[in-house]
Structure 1
């Protein structure tokens, strides 16, 4: 039988009524002739509640026990989904990660897949089971301990199962009806995309679009898993939602496919750093060791006079999440005290936002950057930092201009038009 993977997020299974609604969508696919693997998240808010219980019980918790507790949310949903399907006369059973088994690394709360053997689930399909309901977000280590994959891990679980079982498609059911050209809450002109290339979706996900988890898109692109994003709360058919697929499946791409933003960014600048070979490594090594996620980087070479001599120095600017500013500051101060780097001053700007335009059409069209910068200039939006890739241009601007910039770029590139 053809196989379909269906994943339901926390809002889609938030209570018993929504679980039954999701089960009815699964039953419809079974009636169409599919065997189905359903991946479920914990009910909405449940993971946060479990995490809070762990932290209240043991502030310096054992990561192995943390995983054992927080993985239980998905186990509950999987069992309830299987029961709901059985009530609809659909042969179904639930599977926890260790029962499949979903073999992962031993990095608790940040585990990665090693293997997903097909034997156990395939055997049950052969016996007449039509739906395997699998708890997402979890697996089992080589030591036999429960592991979790980090936030958004159920998306990654769904894609991994689709790859392992050669599924026809992986449907991600969520609380939005697809991928939009930008956030509809910011621009009323935002338009739902019928199709988007893996690379574009990966850039949008990494730049702030929260429709799909970044690791899930990376996995889908690597194994050519066709992903479809659609709503749990609307009637859907084979043409619903947004298909995330290979670039070859898209007849003609627009130059820019979407505008993404990240509100909580910070800009940090090291002034008058000694300019010598290896200085970049000396700066970004300690930041990496401290777990700071550096994004945009700009280096400006200049000179200063010391003891009557002209000395080559550089100003190094980088961006990071605003929540990591304290960690970044400490890493730089510690590196200066240890003699690893020398700089005169560290300037922090915690009131910035990142706005990006993304599109595979940029590869074959010149002038996208100029068009973007002119649009921002027309709105008197000053650009602080610029970063580019083959299919992306990102700028750092004052946070108060973020929504204005998103709307201006969305209009400039005509993203409201099909």
Structure 2
């Protein structure tokens, strides 16, 4: 018997029939003796519907009231799923985030979980019930309803699994695991049996949409085994865990990519202490997240060009701010490009293998794809290219590293 936390996303609970199918799946685990906690999202499209409704009344809705409104989406799902389980003869009880005391900070629409009081959940599990919890939401110290941001149900599930010391946290979605890259771009993309927390965190942060970044961070911090599975077909999915001795370490585990990138450059800036702070300080104060940064110094060392990337939604705001900064610091010119994309190779095998970067660059050069920016970490290499070459670049790299083939086991002693 195991204690399992399962999370079902909006597509998985998108209709009454799908909710009934989820109930049947949950019941099979309960029938074999497992203790089950289920975390659910709002039905697909419901969050967007509620947002549009709010904006039809108030173009820029109050964030506190938006949290109150959006949290109702999950409340509908937990009640319906509990009813479906009861109809199948499986005792179940539903709870909102506030009812199970998921305590968060007060940052409406992007709150962070501070703690969970799991006592009520344990009582129900001890009584043989399935516990159904609303994802995406919690409550701050003043009793205000808060939400965790898009994809926050993943974080709810992992946090509950950590609090309950669950044997596994299963994330059910519309894909049957984590792939070497998006199968819609590369038909030969291969499902991975397992990846490390570190690899999954890099892939999520570089554009993979399978799991929310905060959920992976939480799972890694509290060593919660994660498994990504399909709601619509049977299969082992992909296990996300720590590296273990004897674990296969492929050179590259996957290729992540992100179309939502924009690049800004401020040219001819005096090369002196504090200039980077002068440029990026206002950007950070405006809550605009900066990704890649490249600084080039002129031959005589007196001037520098400073380039960085932001999310495409922040492009115009960041560009306007950079132009203002350019006047203040005496820069020569400001340029921007919001038609770029980022491709990232990710793999723990990079730690012990040389030549990955050269293979990557050669594969892109063969397709006449120019690299605009490069960034590296211990297990990742990212490049920025023109957006129009994104899919071609992903396919070229997938072929260059033979990711459609199972990794060959090491023969070393």
Could you say which residue in structure 1 is the equivalent of 2:402?
Answer: 414
TM-score (normalizing by structure 2): 0.96
Is residue 109–residue 148 contact of structure 1 (8 Å, CA) maintained in 2?
A: yes
- Partner of 1:248: helix, strand, or coil? coil
TM-score (normalizing by structure 1): 0.95
Could you say which residue in structure 1 is the equivalent of 2:410?
Answer: none
Of residues 283, 287, 294, the one that matches 2:283 is: 287
2:370 paired with 1:404:
no
Decide which moves more: 83-92 or 320-329: 320-329
Inter-partner Cα distance in structure 1 for 2:303 and 2:59: 44
Inter-partner Cα distance in structure 2 for 1:193 and 1:61: 42
**Matches of residues 123-134 of structure 1 in structure 2 within 5 Å?**
123-126=123-126, 128-134=127-133
Decide which moves more: 137-146 or 54-63: 54-63
Inter-partner Cα distance in structure 2 for 1:249 and 1:121: 35
**Matches of residues 181-260 of structure 1 in structure 2 within 5 Å?**
181-236=180-235, 240-248=236-244, 251-260=247-256
TM superposition shift of 1:234: 0.8
Q: 1:311 to 1:119 in 2, by over 3 A?
A: closer
TM superposition shift of 1:311: 7.5
Inter-partner Cα distance in structure 1 for 2:66 and 2:260: 28
- Partner of 1:10: helix, strand, or coil? coil
Could you say which residue in structure 1 is the equivalent of 2:358?
Answer: 370
- Partner of 1:11: helix, strand, or coil? coil
Inter-partner Cα distance in structure 2 for 1:3 and 1:249: 26
Inter-partner Cα distance in structure 2 for 1:281 and 1:129: 57
Could you say which residue in structure 1 is the equivalent of 2:325?
Answer: 335
Is residue 47–residue 73 contact of structure 2 (8 Å, CA) maintained in 1?
A: yes
TM superposition shift of 1:249: 6.6
Could you say which residue in structure 1 is the equivalent of 2:409?
Answer: none
Inter-partner Cα distance in structure 2 for 1:190 and 1:124: 42
Could you say which residue in structure 1 is the equivalent of 2:51?
Answer: 51
Is residue 352–residue 398 contact of structure 1 (8 Å, CA) maintained in 2?
A: yes
Inter-partner Cα distance in structure 1 for 2:322 and 2:6: 45
Inter-partner Cα distance in structure 2 for 1:253 and 1:208: 22
Measured against aligned partners, the alpha-carbon deviations of 1:86-108 in whole angstroms (never above 9, x if no partner) come to: 01111101001111111111111
Runs of 5+ unmatched residues, structure 1: 304-309
Inter-partner Cα distance in structure 1 for 2:163 and 2:324: 45
Could you say which residue in structure 2 is the equivalent of 1:120?
Answer: 120
**Matches of residues 6-405 of structure 1 in structure 2 within 5 Å?**
6-126=6-126, 128-236=127-235, 240-248=236-244, 251-302=247-298, 312-337=302-327, 339=328, 341-405=329-393
Q: 1:242 to 1:106 in 2, by over 3 A?
A: same
Is residue 37–residue 131 contact of structure 2 (8 Å, CA) maintained in 1?
A: yes
- Partner of 1:383: helix, strand, or coil? coil
Measured against aligned partners, the alpha-carbon deviations of 1:235-273 in whole angstroms (never above 9, x if no partner) come to: 34xxx1000111117611111111111112111111101
Inter-partner Cα distance in structure 2 for 1:404 and 1:279: 37
How many residues are matched?
406
Could you say which residue in structure 2 is the equivalent of 1:307?
Answer: none
Q: 1:300 to 1:343 in 2, by over 3 A?
A: same
Inter-partner Cα distance in structure 2 for 1:79 and 1:406: 43
Measured against aligned partners, the alpha-carbon deviations of 1:57-115 in whole angstroms (never above 9, x if no partner) come to: 12232211110000000000000000000011111010011111111111111111111
